[in-house]
Amino acid sequence: MLRLPRFVTLVACLMICAMLRPAPLAAQADTPLQDVLQAVQPLVASPSRATVPQVLAALLDADAPGTVDFLRAWAEREVHERPDDGLFFYARDGADRNLILIDIDTGEVAGDVSSRDVNQIRPNAGVRREINAALVSFELLNPNPDRRMAALAAIARSPDADQIPALESALAAEEEARIALRMERLLDLLNARFATDSATRVDAIEGLRGDISTEARRALNQILQTRADFAPDIPEDTNVARIRTPGEDMDLIAAYATLSDAGLVPPRQGRNAIRDALRLNAVSGEVGGIPVHRLDTDEMRRTAYRALQDAGTVPPLVTQADMEARVAEYIFFDAYLEPDAAVTDAARDALDSTRTAISLWQFLGISLDALSLASIFFLAAIGLAITFGVMRVINMAHGEFIMMGAYTGYVVQTVIPNLTTSLVVAFPLAFAVTFGAGVAMERLVIRHLYTRPLETLLATFGISIALQQLAKNIFGTQARPLTSPDWLAGAIQVNDVVSVASIRVAIFAMALAFLLLLLFILNRTRLGLEVRAVTQNPGMAASMGINPDRINMLTFGLGSGIAGVAGVAIGLVAQVTSEMGANYIVQSFMTVVVGGVGSVFGTLAGATLIGALQKGIEWFNPANTLAAQTYMVLFIILFIQFRPKGIVALKGRAAGD
């Protein structure tokens, strides 16, 4: 109780100094720090909780350069006194276990002495608390905004009632809005826990309503901490959180054990206790007249125990009815550690409001995750949507083009160490590699099977297996790293609940760029016009001078090239292996079918629907992603029963097929 008035005196000095200056600590005095310390030399050399406020007040009044550094060193026991003249120095280790003295004003070396020639000042824990509290006060009035924010962070990490006056005085002098807002929030946190009157605490708690920050939730949960208790009647001064009913929301055996531990009822005999009692009372192969070999069930062992009980050999067996009767004599309840009911009621209401806000932010986080997953599905499926829509070719090797793009990115990174440069090179190179592979595949295999879809499926499936084996032979079976640059590392922290990985934001932006690029190609270029003409009516397009065979080749190459670029992007968030394409081929086909064959917007809609559906199911069952995928497939099967042409159905050949 004596500590607070001394600290209030110090804070009063802080407030007076703050009012006398145009800005907090705007200019420091020219008085050397050593001279200030010599004025209170005995109090610095032998500090105590009774005298340390005088030292702190003198330091604050002089405001000498290096005061904050001295306070830190003083608290950390890094200050030494030279007995010959009473001067104070910092010290660091020197040769031969000597100490090198450092002048506290200039920072220059002041001599090399033995540790026996100086006295290390060792303030006790109480003095260090006073120093640290004053240090926070100094930092809160520091002209550097970053130093003031660091002081506020220190308060948030180690909140204490004594910090309230210092924070209030600093808030009165604060001119920056963001820092003042942070101070107000910390005052609410401190007043909610440490204020002396109920009204102030309730007002502070009301200010925390809807605050989803970790520190606000921690403060409210600390106010709402409870202890389990029981009594024949609830004491009048008890702040009851809830009453427990044995047999309903509290286990009957646990309630009886609580009474037994308190010595109010005899212990309940469990299996081990009954077994030990029977062993001790076995005579001539029998226990209570029952042969030992028959004691192989709980019921027989209890029967033998009752026989011993009737003979007065063992204590009476506690039955279910006994436990219910004894437990009914007491009330079991949880009581708040905080005795003020108004405070706990306000904290409970504030925490409920905060939980509602957290649920909303969690929904936003799930939505962002779904959007991120949808962008990956869109990148993986858009190439397939183009080839499937134009040529009606079921390309089971589409996933392997994704894999080829990812391995291309890996090879580029092994050649070009700079991660940003390697990505700039990898994207167009992956497009070129997979474009060439797609054109070669169309020229050598697909063009001969246009009228035989089943054989096309089998042929591309065989090519898929061959490409996987080729990748294993070249790169091995181990996953290969595809590393994102530092500027894509980490996450964008929205608040304490929602954060988004930077790489996923980049992939979303890339998917959006691909969407705009494809729309431009299909709607503003000659190639796009010819692709749309061949998609709607290849016979009429041929009669107008368009070569459907050439368009099919270019379209298949374009779709394969886009898959390669998608492979580089996907490789940044997934493992690069020879089987990685197989993980996306099913989702790609589902995305195309649900969205609408051959439609860019349909693919976008299908990717969004599937991504949202998968993340939504995972929200309800986060521990079982396989179940989420199973439910998603069932939903898609039901969906295509009602809308077989997808969300966006094309007209022309796709509609006719």
User: pLDDT tens digit string along 428-483?
Assistant: 999 999 999 999 998 898 888 877 878 888 898 999 999 999 999 998 888 888 88
| Domain C-terminal end among 194, 219, 250 | 194
Cα gap 423→410, rounded to integer Å: 10
* CA pair distance 449, 455, nearest whole angstrom: 7
Please, are residues 231 and 330 in contact by the beta-carbon 8 Å criterion? yes
Residue 22 forms part of a structural domain: yes
Summarised one tens digit per residue, pLDDT across range 168-223 is 888 888 888 889 988 888 888 888 988 888 899 999 999 888 888 888 888 899 99
| 548 and 579 belong to one structural domain | yes
Identify the band that residue 17 occupies on the pLDDT scale cut at 50, 70 and 90: very low
pLDDT digits (tens, 9 = 90+) for 375-422: 888 888 888 887 776 667 788 888 899 999 999 999 999 999 888 899
Residue 2: per-residue pLDDT: 36
Residue range 104-124: mean pLDDT, rounded: 87
Give CA–CA dist 228/589, Å, rounded. Answer: 56
pLDDT of residue 622: 61
Parallel, antiparallel or unpaired: strands 226-231 and 119-120: unpaired
Q: Between residues 541 and 398, which one has the greater pLDDT?
A: 398
pLDDT category at 303 given cuts 50, 70, 90 is: confident
Q: Which amino acid is at 247?
A: G
Tell me how many domains the chain contains: 3
Q: Decide if 558 is inside a domain.
A: yes
Does 493 lie in the same domain as 581? Answer: yes
Inside any domain, residue 572 = yes
Residue 208 near residue 195 (C-beta atoms within 8 A):
no
The span from the CA of 346 to the CA of 529, in Å, is 66
For all residues of the chain together, what is the average pLDDT? 83
Cα gap 24→174, rounded to integer Å? 8
| pLDDT over threshold 80, residue 597 | no
Q: Is 459 left (phi over 0), alpha (psi -120 to 50) or beta?
A: alpha
Q: Are residues 315 and 464 in the same domain?
A: no
Q: Which amino acid is at 307?
A: A
Q: In whole angstroms, how far apart are CA 335 and each of 249, 344, 592?
A: 16, 11, 58
In a domain, 95, yes or no: no
The better pLDDT of the pair 30, 520 is held by 520
Integer Cα distance of 89 and 255 in angstroms = 63
Average pLDDT over residues 104-126: 86
SS3 313: coil
b/e per residue 533-546 (b: at least 16 CB within 10 A): bbbbebeebeeeeb
Beta carbons of 585 and 399 less than 8 angstroms apart: yes
Range with the lowest mean pLDDT among 146-160, 233-247, 360-374?
146-160
Looking at the predicted structure, is the pLDDT value of residue 14 above 50? Answer: no
What average pLDDT score do residues 137-148 get?
A: 80
Mind listing the pLDDT tens digit for each residue in 478-503? 888 888 888 888 788 887 888 888 88
536 and 632 together in one domain: yes
Domain boundaries, position 43: 3-77+121-194
DSSP 8-state symbol, 23? S
Structure-block tokens of residue 255: 């309630």
What pLDDT was estimated at residue 624? 62
For residue 500, what are its two tokens?
A: 């988004």
SS3 labels along 493-531? ECCCCCEEEHHHHHHHHHHHHHHHHHHHHHHHCHHHHHH
What is the Cα 17 distance to its own chain's centre?
Answer: 43
* Three-class SS state of 537: coil
Q: Which DSSP category does 176 fall into?
A: -
**Residue 591: CB partners within 8 Å, gap ≥ 6?**
377, 378, 380, 381, 385, 603, 606, 607, 610
Residues present in the chain in total: 657
H or E element at residue 138: helix 125-140
514 belongs to a structural domain: yes
If asked whether residues 429 and 476 sit together in one domain, one would say yes
pLDDT at 3: 41
Domain for residue 15, yes or no?
Answer: yes
**Sole residue written with tokens 């240090």:** 135
312, 389: one domain: no
Type and span of the H or E element at 550: helix 548-571
Under 8 Å between Cβ of 54 and 40: yes
Check if the beta carbon of residue 13 is closer than 8 Å to that of residue 60. Answer: yes
Q: Residue 334 pLDDT > 90, yes or no?
A: yes
The answer to whether 121 and 45 are in contact (CB under 8 A) is yes
Q: Between 546 and 135, whose confidence is greater?
A: 546
C-alpha 104 chain-centroid distance? 44
Q: Are 266 and 315 in contact (CB under 8 A)?
A: yes
Which of residues 145, 175, 194 is at a domain's end? 194
588: pLDDT strictly greater than 90: no
Same-domain check for residues 613 and 470:
yes
Do residue 422 and residue 385 come from a single domain?
yes
Instruction: Give the model's confidence band at 226: pLDDT under 50 very low, under 70 low, under 90 confident, else very high.
Output: very high
Q: Answer yes or no: do 390 and 509 share one domain.
A: yes
Are 232 and 331 in contact, with CB atoms under 8 Å apart? yes
Report d(CA 58, CA 134) in Å as an integer.
12
Q: Which of 23-27, 478-482, 613-617 has the lowest mean pLDDT?
A: 23-27
Q: Both 176 and 300 in a single domain?
A: no
What is the pLDDT at residue 18?
A: 39
pTM of the predicted protein model? 0.67
Please say which residue of 305, 336, 367 terminates a domain: 336
**Distance, CA of 259 to CA of 261 (rounded, Å):** 5
Same domain? For 291 and 364 the reply is: no
Work out the end-to-end distance of the chain between its first and last CA atoms, rounded to an integer number of angstroms. 87
Whether residue 98 is contained in a domain is answered as: no
Q: Are residues 459 and 552 in the same domain?
A: yes
How far, in Å, CA of 240 to CA of 232, rounded? 14
Query: For residues 320 and 407, which has the higher predicted lDDT (pLDDT)?
Result: 407
For residue 183, give both structure tokens.
């101070």
Q: Quick check: is 201 in a domain?
A: no
